[in-house]
Structure 1
Amino acid sequence: MEHIKNNYPVIQIDKIDHSKILRNIGAVSDALQLETYVVGGFVRDLFLKRTCKDIDIVCVGDGMLLAQAVATHLDKGLSVTLFKNFGTAMLQWNGWIIEFVGTRKESYASSSRNPTVSNGTLADDQMRRDFTINTMAICLNKEHYGLLLDPFNGQHDLADALIRTPCAPEQTFSDDPLRIIRAIRFATQLNFRIAVETWTALTTVRNRLTIVSQERIAEELHKIIAANKPSYGFQLLFETKILAIILPELEKLSGKEQCGVHTHKDNLLHTFEVLDNVAQNSSKLWLRWAAVFHDIAKPLTKKFDPIHGFSFHGHEDLGAKMLPRIFRRLRFPISKEVLGYVQKLVRLHLRPIALAKAVTDTAIRRLLYEAQGDLEDLFLLCRADITSKNTARVEQYLANFDKVEKKVLDVEARDKIRNFQPVITGQVIMQAFALKPSPAVGSIKEAIKEAILEGKIKNEYKEAFQYMLSIGKDYLS
C-alpha cells in the first residue's frame, strides 16, 4: 500500500450503521490479502449524511473472488450474481446491495462509450470515475481501516457544493457522454453548482450524446425529475442546449412574445414552475412527467388575434396525441398504465378549471367518467398549473377551484360515476333482444352510458334496464 500516506485522515466509520458489514468485508479481504476500499456514492453520501443502501467495493485484485468469499462469510446460503463480462459481482444482504469490482483503468474509442478495461491500481480506478465527489475511497483493511484516500479533493468540492471532473473535463465527457447528463443529475439531486470548466466542456461536447442509448438517458432523466426541485435540472438541460437534443418539443416552449399590447408568458418557465408545484405535493414519477408535457403542443397551436391576443386552443388534445411518438423515442413505457395515464392527464388538464365558469352536473359526470381513478392526480396537476406573479390572482383562481372540486366530489358521492362501468353490458342487451354481436349492441350500450352521464337515468340496473327496453326498438329498426 505504497500510496497510503500518513497525512490522510481516518474516518470513524465504526460509528455508522453499516459498520458491521464493512468490518466483515475488511476481515475477508485481509484473509485473502486483498487491498480493499469502499468507494463512490456510498462515501459521498456518508459525508452528506444521506441514506445510501448501495455499497460499492473495489479491491486491488479479483472482485468476483472477494464477493464470493464475503457471501460465504456472511451466510453460506447467500447467492452472488456474477457479471463476468464486466468483471463485477453483486450480492444482497440485510437490505444492502453490495457490488464488487477489481481496480481497473479504462480507454475509449471515439465511436463508443463502452470502454476497453484492463487491470489497474487504486489511483487508476479513482481517475476513471466521473466526478471528484465520487472518487473518494475508504480503506477497509485492518491495518488502515477508515483511512480516506481523496486525491482529487472530493471533500472540498462537497463542502463547496461543486460538481467537477477529476481529469480534463472535455476528455471525461467525450469518453463517456452519459456523464454530461449525470453531471446535471447530480447537481439537481444535491443542489450543487457545476464548475465553470466542467460546464464549458459538457456544452462543447454535448452532441456526443447521440452515441448514448435512449434507455440510459431516460434513466438519468427519471432521476432528475425525481429530485426535490426538478426544475433546476431541466433549467440546466435548457441552458446547455441539451434539452434541444433530447426533448426538442419541450425546448420549443421557451420564450415570451409580444404583439402590440398582447403578450404571452414563457411557457417553458411556466412548465418548470408547474413541475415544481407538483413535486411539492407528489413523488409520483409519471404525474411529474405529465406536468412536463401538459403544454407540449402550445407552439403548434399558437394563434394571434389582434383583439383577443394569443391563444393555444386545442393544445391539450394535440399534446396527448403527440405523446406516443415522444414516449417511443425516449424509450418510455407505452403501456396504458403509463402512457395512457399521462395522455389522460394532459388531455384533461384544462377541464376542471374550465368548469369554474359553468359548473353543470352533466359536465362533472363526464369529467368523472373520463378521469376514472386518476381524479386526485388530475386535481393536483390543475392546482399546480395555476401560476402567476400576481399572488392575489393565484389565490382567486385557487378559491374558484376549491368550489369546483367540492362540487365534483359532491356529484361523485351522489352518482357514483368515477370508475363506473355501465350496468347494462353487451351480454344483457343481446339476451334481451335475442341479438348476436353487432353494431346495434354497441350503439344501445353507448346510448345507455350517455343517458347516465346526462343525468336522464341513474347508474342502477333496474332503471337502466327499463331505459334499454324503451330505446331498443328504435336502434333495432
Structure 2
Amino acid sequence: MVFDIQSRERKIFEVISAAARELNFPAYVVGGYVRDRLLARPSKDMDIVCVGSGIELALAVSKKLHPRPRVTTYKRFGTAMLKHEGLEVEFVGARKESYRSDSRKPTVEEGSLEDDQNRRDFTINALAVSLNDNNYGNIIDPFDGLEHLEQKRIITPLEPGKTFSDDPLRMMRAIRFSTQLGFDIEEKTLDAISKFRNRIKIISQERIATELNKILQAPEPSIGFKLLFDTGLLELILPELAAMQGVEIRNGIGHKDNFYHTLQVVDQLAHKSNNLWLRWSALLHDIAKPVTKRFDKENGWTFHGHEAVGAAMVPRIFRRLRLPMDQKMKFVQKMVQLHQRPISLTKEDITDSAVRRILYETGEDIDQLMLLCEADITSKNEKRVRRYLQNYEYLRKRLQEVEEKDHLRNWQPPISGELIMETFAIPPSREVGIIKNAIREAILDGDIPNEYDAAFAFMQNKAKELGIAMPVDE
C-alpha cells in the first residue's frame, strides 16, 4: 500500500529523502503521524527514523530548507528536532530500547527499522512510510497495524507482557489512545495491563501526569478513568479517586457511587469546556467524600465539609503527581473549595450580600465555577435537573446585576492595611487586621457603599471602638 503524501508535506518529505540518500541513511516517517493521517486526524508532529545518526540527518535536512530552520539537538538521546511550515519534525536513529526491572530509564542500542518497529508500543503506532528511492511512499506494516486501524483495536506488536515490562508507561498509553480514538483494547492486551500494573511504580510521576492530562483532554475522559480503575492502575496512581468507588448501605439507606458520579461530571464539563484545569477541578471536586463520609440515623449519609477537606488535599495530589504548583493548582483548589456555594444560594432568597461574597471570593473565575456547578447535576430525574438549571440561570442573572452595580470581580477594599497604619500612626498589629476585615465585611454586607469616603469614615469609627485615636498634629 502506498501512503498518500499531501502537497503540504511533499516538500519536507522530498528534502528528507534527498538528505538521507546523500548520507546513505535509509529514512522512514513512523508512528503517530502515519496513524493520524490514515485516520484523517490533524497532526503537527512528525517522527523520522533513520538507520544512522538522527542528528546528522536533521542537520543535513536543515541545510536544504529555506528559510533554514534551527535544529535543536539532544545528544544524550541521539535525537534532533526542527520546525518547518507548522510541522515539528523529530529525527532519531533506529534503536532497540528496554527497561531493567527496577529502572525508570531505558537501555538504548542502535538497531534496524525492524528493531525500531518492534520496540513500538502498539501495532497502530508501528506503521512506517518509506522515504527511500526503491520504495518511496510504501507503508511498511509488519504487525497488521492497518487492519487494526480498520478494526479500531489497540494491540501490542510483541507479546503484551514484554511490551509493558519494557516500558510500563505503555499501559497508560493504551488507555489514553483508547480514550482519545474510541478504540477497544484487545483482550490479551487489557489483561496484561492488569497483570503488570505494579510495574507502573518505576515510572516517573511527570510521565504519569502527562498521560492523565491527555486522558482528561479527550472528548469523554470517563472512558480512560474507568479503564484505569478496572485494570487496577488508578489505585496505584490516584488512590484518592479510586477510593470513591462503591456504595455503602446502612439501615436500608445507601449513597450514590461518588466515583461514577465524578466521571459523569467530568464528561458533562468536557462537553462545555476545554479548560484542562477546570476538568481537573471536576475530577477532584468530591475527592474528600470518602474521608468525610458519616452515617446519621436521622439524616442518612452526610459528607459535611468535604469541599474544605478536598481543597486541602489538592496541593498534596498536585505535588505528588508533579503537576504545576502555581496558579493552576490554586485555581483547582478554589474550584473544589467553592463548588457547593452556588447550589446553596439557589435554595434561599439570594441577598445582595451573599452574591457579593461569592463574587469577591471567585473573582474572574465565577463563570468557570458556574460551569462546574452545572456539570455537577447528575440526577436522572429530568424535572429536578430542569429545576436546578433554572435556579442556576436565575443566579447568573443576580451575579450579573450585583457585579454591574458593585464591580466586585478581583475587588480590593478601598482601605488598605498600609493606610490604616499611616492614618493612626500604629505598627503592624492585630488591630490593623480587625479594622481591615471589618471594612471588607461592611461593604460585602451592604452596610456601607464600596467607596473610599464611606470606608474611611467607617475605619475611624471602628478604630474608636478599639480605643485607637487619630494622632494629634503638633
Instruction: Sort the TM-score into its range (normalised by shorter chain).
Output: over 0.9
Q: Could you list the per-position Cα deviations for residues 389-442 of structure 1 after superposition, in whole angstroms to 9, with x for gaps in the alignment? A: 112211111112211221122112111122110011122222322223332222
Note if 1:65 corresponds to 2:56: yes
1:170 aligned residue (155, 161, 169)? 161
- What's the offset of the Cα at 1:77? 4.6
Aligned AA (1:41): G
Q: Which ranges of structure 1 fall in alignment gaps of 5 or more residues?
A: 1-8
Note if 1:346 corresponds to 2:339: no
In structure 2, the residue matched to 1:266 is: 257
2:210 aligned residue (195, 203, 219)? 219
1:432 aligned residue (423, 426, 433)? 423
- What's the offset of the Cα at 1:191? 1.0
Q: Which ranges of structure 2 fall in alignment gaps of 5 or more residues?
A: 469-474
Q: Could you list the per-position Cα deviations for residues 200-243 of structure 1 after superposition, in whole angstroms to 9, with x for gaps in the alignment? A: 11110100111111011001111110111111100100111111
Is the Cα–Cα contact under 8 Å of residues 138 and 148 in structure 1 kept in the other structure?
A: yes
SS in structure 1 of the partner of residue 90 of structure 2: strand
Q: Could you list the per-position Cα deviations for residues 343-397 of structure 1 after superposition, in whole angstroms to 9, with x for gaps in the alignment? A: 1110110100011111122111111111111100100000000111112211111
In structure 2, the residue matched to 1:39 is: 30
SS in structure 1 of the partner of residue 38 of structure 2: helix
In structure 1, the residue matched to 2:173 is: 182
Note if 1:115 corresponds to 2:106: yes
Q: Could you list the per-position Cα deviations for residues 147-194 of structure 1 after superposition, in whole angstroms to 9, with x for gaps in the alignment? A: 110010111111111111000100110111111111111111111110
In structure 2, the residue matched to 1:29 is: 20
Is the Cα–Cα contact under 8 Å of residues 225 and 285 in structure 1 kept in the other structure?
A: yes
SS in structure 2 of the partner of residue 98 of structure 1: strand
- What's the offset of the Cα at 1:76? 7.0
TM-score (norm 1): 0.95
SS in structure 2 of the partner of residue 114 of structure 1: coil
Aligned AA (2:328): V
**C-alpha distance in structure 1 between counterparts of 2:53 and 2:454, whole Å:** 75
In structure 2, the residue matched to 1:91 is: 82
In structure 2, the residue matched to 1:443 is: 434
In structure 1, the residue matched to 2:357 is: 366
In structure 2, the residue matched to 1:393 is: 384
- What's the offset of the Cα at 1:31? 2.3
Is the Cα–Cα contact under 8 Å of residues 129 and 139 in structure 2 kept in the other structure?
A: yes
Q: Could you list the per-position Cα deviations for residues 250-304 of structure 1 after superposition, in whole angstroms to 9, with x for gaps in the alignment? A: 1111112223342211110000000011111111111000000000011111111
In structure 1, the residue matched to 2:471 is: none
In structure 2, the residue matched to 1:384 is: 375
Change (3 A) 1:318 1:170: same
**C-alpha distance in structure 2 between counterparts of 1:18 and 1:76, whole Å:** 16
**C-alpha distance in structure 1 between counterparts of 2:67 and 2:394, whole Å:** 63
For residues 395-474 of structure 1, the aligned pairs below 5 Å read: 395-474=386-465
Aligned AA (2:114): A
Is the Cα–Cα contact under 8 Å of residues 113 and 177 in structure 1 kept in the other structure?
A: no
**C-alpha distance in structure 2 between counterparts of 1:464 and 1:383, whole Å:** 36
TM-score (norm 2): 0.96
C-alpha RMSD over aligned residues: 1.4
**C-alpha distance in structure 2 between counterparts of 1:59 and 1:476, whole Å:** 81
SS in structure 1 of the partner of residue 466 of structure 2: helix
In structure 1, the residue matched to 2:70 is: 79
**C-alpha distance in structure 2 between counterparts of 1:295 and 1:21, whole Å:** 49
- What's the offset of the Cα at 1:143? 3.1
Q: Could you list the per-position Cα deviations for residues 45-72 of structure 1 after superposition, in whole angstroms to 9, with x for gaps in the alignment? A: 0101111111100111121111100011
Aligned AA (1:153): D
**C-alpha distance in structure 2 between counterparts of 1:348 and 1:82, whole Å:** 46
Aligned AA (1:350): Q
Is the Cα–Cα contact under 8 Å of residues 440 and 476 in structure 1 kept in the other structure?
A: no
- What's the offset of the Cα at 1:246? 0.6
In structure 2, the residue matched to 1:252 is: 243
**C-alpha distance in structure 2 between counterparts of 1:342 and 1:369, whole Å:** 17
- What's the offset of the Cα at 1:16? 4.9
Aligned AA (1:330): L
For residues 131-146 of structure 1, the aligned pairs below 5 Å read: 131-146=122-137
Note if 1:287 corresponds to 2:270: no
Q: Could you list the per-position Cα deviations for residues 294-322 of structure 1 after superposition, in whole angstroms to 9, with x for gaps in the alignment? A: 00011111111223211111111111011
More displaced 10-residue stretch of structure 1: 201-210 or 92-101: 92-101
Q: Could you list the per-position Cα deviations for residues 434-456 of structure 1 after superposition, in whole angstroms to 9, with x for gaps in the alignment? A: 22333222221111101001110
**C-alpha distance in structure 2 between counterparts of 1:467 and 1:76, whole Å:** 66
2:2 aligned residue (10, 21, 25)? 10
Is the Cα–Cα contact under 8 Å of residues 71 and 78 in structure 1 kept in the other structure?
A: yes
For residues 197-236 of structure 1, the aligned pairs below 5 Å read: 197-236=188-227
**C-alpha distance in structure 2 between counterparts of 1:476 and 1:186, whole Å:** 67
Is the Cα–Cα contact under 8 Å of residues 215 and 331 in structure 1 kept in the other structure?
A: yes
Note if 1:355 corresponds to 2:342: no
**C-alpha distance in structure 1 between counterparts of 2:429 and 2:248, whole Å:** 53
Aligned AA (2:32): G
In structure 2, the residue matched to 1:100 is: 91
Is the Cα–Cα contact under 8 Å of residues 113 and 175 in structure 1 kept in the other structure?
A: no
In structure 2, the residue matched to 1:4 is: none
Q: Identity of counterpart residues, as a percentage?
A: 53
Aligned AA (2:359): L
Is the Cα–Cα contact under 8 Å of residues 104 and 204 in structure 2 kept in the other structure?
A: no
1:278 aligned residue (269, 280, 284)? 269
**C-alpha distance in structure 2 between counterparts of 1:435 and 1:87, whole Å:** 64
**C-alpha distance in structure 2 between counterparts of 1:85 and 1:200, whole Å:** 35
**C-alpha distance in structure 2 between counterparts of 1:226 and 1:416, whole Å:** 34
Is the Cα–Cα contact under 8 Å of residues 443 and 475 in structure 1 kept in the other structure?
A: no
In structure 2, the residue matched to 1:3 is: none
| Structure 1 runs of 4+ with >4 Å offset | none
In structure 1, the residue matched to 2:472 is: none
More displaced 10-residue stretch of structure 1: 196-205 or 461-470: 461-470
